[in-house]
Amino acid sequence: MKSLLGKKILVTGATGGFGREFAKQLHGLGAHLILSGRDQSKLDDISGTLGPSPSGGKVIGTIKADLSNRAGCEELYAGCTAITTGLDVLINNAGIIAYGDFHQVPLDTWERLMETNLLAAMRLTYLFLPAMLKRKQGHIVLMSSVAGFVGTRNSTAYSASKFGLRGFGLSLYGEVHPSGIEVTMLYPFWADTPILQSEDYGSKSTGKVIRAVVDRADDVVRESIAGIRKNKLSVYPGPVAKVLHLANKVIQIRGSQRKG
């Protein structure tokens, strides 16, 4: 997918840090966007600031939806199909985090996290995929994380959700790629988005991420979009993500050699 000009793209979590950047940059590349989030006023604000672009980019719809449950995913799907029956790209960007020791994070909180981060992406893919397969074209994008291949303490449920997305994406690719459907998984490190200010749970603070290693959201999204346009299966945007990916591969190789 070398050009995104006129491509109909759904971005979930469009009111968050990465979501806003996806909307802004895809708009500049001429995409026709459907933006989803939980706050309609924020969606209206994003849509209003974008407007028509010289490249032809525009927002063709905004849909308020809570993706932490099946009904919200079905409502988003229905809203999108009312706008277009030919979605080209589904960007599963919506995600939340809960900091703290796993046993001290409230049950309802981490269950909602798993619904939002993992099950929503699976549900939306399940709903949109049949039409893509019928047309023999489409692109599914999954926002995983470095935490999807390196377990992170004090965000255990978050890491589990991102590992889950990784497994889902790899398996899905094997099924749909022969039919002309692309799958891209994104593995960013920490970036300057509101997720860094998410609530701590439990008896101790999880501490703060060192600012020197925090990536810029616009850089992460720019590199992610470049990977999507090249139909890459895996994208590691930013220097820290790349280093950790390589380090993880070395550890896996050495571990397999010891077992041998």
- Stated length of the chain: 260
Residue with tokens 């939306």: 124
For 163-169, the CB contacts below 8 A with 24+ separation are 164/114, 164/117, 164/118, 165/92, 165/117, 165/118, 165/121, 168/118, 168/121, 168/122, 168/142, 169/140, 169/142, 169/144, 169/233
In the set 77, 99, 158, 201, the catalytic residue is 158
Q: Sheet of 89-92: strands edge to edge?
A: 58-64, 32-37, 8-11, 89-92, 138-143, 181-186, 234-235
- Assess whether 158 carries a catalytic annotation: yes
Q: Name the phi and psi angles at 139, rounded to 5.
A: -145, 125
Inter-residue contact 82 to 89 (CB < 8 Å): no
Residues identified as active-site: 158
